[in-house]
Every structure is written in C-alpha cells, then in structure tokens.
C-alpha cells in the first residue's frame, strides 16, 4: 500500500515508488537513516543529521559517514557546491528524493532542509538580488574554447567569487554543468543563456 506524502513526524515514511524496486530502495534508505541517527562525522566528530547522512551515502560512505564539509575537503570542492550538486542528483533518483523528504519531515529545524539544486527558483532569486563579481559574454564559443577560457577567468577570481556568463552555444546547457561538477565549482544559476558560477572557497 502506498503511503501518502507529507505524513506526520513519527508516522510511516512518505514513499511514492516509481516502481516496486524504487520503493524498496527508498524504504531501505529510510530504515538506514533511522539506525544511523546517532552517527558522528568520522573526521571532525560532529553529529550528523539525516540530510548529511544522505550526502555521505550518495558518495559511497555509508559505513564511515562524514559531514559534507569534510567530504568537500577530501574532494577538493566547496561544501555548498557539493551539497547543491548532490541535491540535483537526488532530484533524479526516487529513493534519495523520498529519503530527503522523509528527513525534511523529521528534522524540521535542520538548516539543510533549505538546500536546493543549483537550478532551482531560490537560486534565480539570489541571482537577481546579489550581483556577480564579474561578467563575461562568451557569445557562441563552442565547448573546447568555452571551458578553456572559463578556466582562466575563474582562476583570476578570488575564492568564493562569482562569474556570470552569457553563452549561446547549443551545447552550453550540458557542457557548463558538467565542467562545474568535474572541477568542483558551484553552478549557482543555470537559465540559458545565463549561467552563474562560484569559485570554491578553499
């Protein structure tokens, strides 16, 4: 029997399986969260919330979980960028999407409930309210030239600074997010042809 979404805290997990196997994986992940509730980060020994446990699980650290800040340091990335990238991944995976919703329902005061994928509405609002540190009109530069020039421009920025670019090449909507994932940069906004990218803080 399928559970209704938005269940009361302490009730049965809200799971809407795309198919039977997806539902099983979601329930297993939610059960693991329950048994791992008292876990500490293996590096800094901070208490891990259910959201942090999901980040660790997605990166293959179920047995020895770590907080997203420590995981980001290990991956030479920014914590905010890593969280945003993983949330985008969760949106495409039913089991993680259901487990994240379960964590939201149980941990109402957790700051990570607000974490959203890098292309969400909150990021668009941020882009309007906060101006970028630098702007660049890349025109129709194709993938190779685009990412080479982008790499140089991001290197010239201080850690944590943002670059907003306009890129009209048809491949940019796929090339730029992929480049950010590979290099650890945070894609703050992606609304073709406009993209905002933040350099890692560390």
What does the pLDDT look like over 135-161, one tens digit per residue?
999 999 988 889 999 999 999 999 888
Q: Are residues 99 and 33 in the same domain?
A: yes
Instruction: Tell me the three state secondary structure of residue 147.
Output: helix
Q: Are residues 36 and 84 in the same domain?
A: yes
The whole domain housing 136 covers: 121-198
Indicate whether 2 belongs to any domain: no
Q: Is the preceding peptide bond at 193 cis, omega within 30 degrees of 0?
A: yes
Residues labelled as active-site residues = 143
Q: What are phi and psi of 136, to 5 degrees?
A: -150, 130
The CA distances from residue 75 to 17, 68, 83, 140, 183, in Å, are 32, 10, 12, 32, 10
Q: Are residues 86 and 48 in the same domain?
A: yes
In whole angstroms, give the CA distance from residue 152 to residue 183: 13
Whole-model pTM: value is 0.52
Q: Assign residue 167 the CATH number of its domain.
A: 3.30.110.40
Instruction: Tell me the three state secondary structure of residue 13.
Output: coil
Q: Which residues touch 1 (CB under 8 Å, ≥6 apart)?
A: none
Q: Are residues 41 and 103 in the same domain?
A: yes
In whole angstroms, give the CA distance from residue 112 to residue 116: 9
In whole angstroms, give the CA distance from residue 180 to residue 78: 11
Q: Give average pLDDT by consecutive 10-residue segment, the chain, 202 residues.
A: 41 49 86 92 93 91 91 82 82 86 84 64 46 89 89 92 91 88 87 89 70
């Amino acid at each position: 029997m399928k559970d209704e979404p938005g269940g009361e805290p302490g009730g049965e997990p809200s799971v809407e399986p795309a198919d039977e196997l997806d539902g099983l994986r979601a329930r297993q992940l939610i059960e693991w969260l329950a048994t791992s509730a008292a876990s500490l980060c293996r590096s800094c020994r901070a208490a891990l919330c259910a959201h942090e446990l999901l980040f660790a699980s997605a990166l293959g650290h179920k047995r020895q979980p770590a907080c997203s800040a420590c995981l980001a340091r290990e991956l030479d990335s920014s914590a905010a960028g890593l969280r945003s990238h993983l949330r985008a991944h969760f949106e495409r995976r039913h089991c993680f999407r259901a487990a994240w919703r379960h964590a939201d329902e149980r941990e109402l005061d957790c700051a990570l409930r607000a974490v959203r994928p890098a292309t969400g509405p909150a990021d668009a609002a941020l882009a309007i309210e906060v101006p970028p540190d630098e702007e660049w009109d890349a025109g129709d530069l194709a993938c190779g030239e685009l990412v080479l020039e982008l790499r140089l421009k991001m290197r010239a920025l201080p850690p944590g600074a943002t670059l907003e670019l306009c890129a009209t090449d048809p491949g940019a909507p796929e090339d730029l997010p992929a480049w950010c994932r590979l290099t650890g940069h945070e894609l703050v906004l992606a609304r073709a042809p406009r993209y905002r990218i933040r350099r890692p803080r560390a």
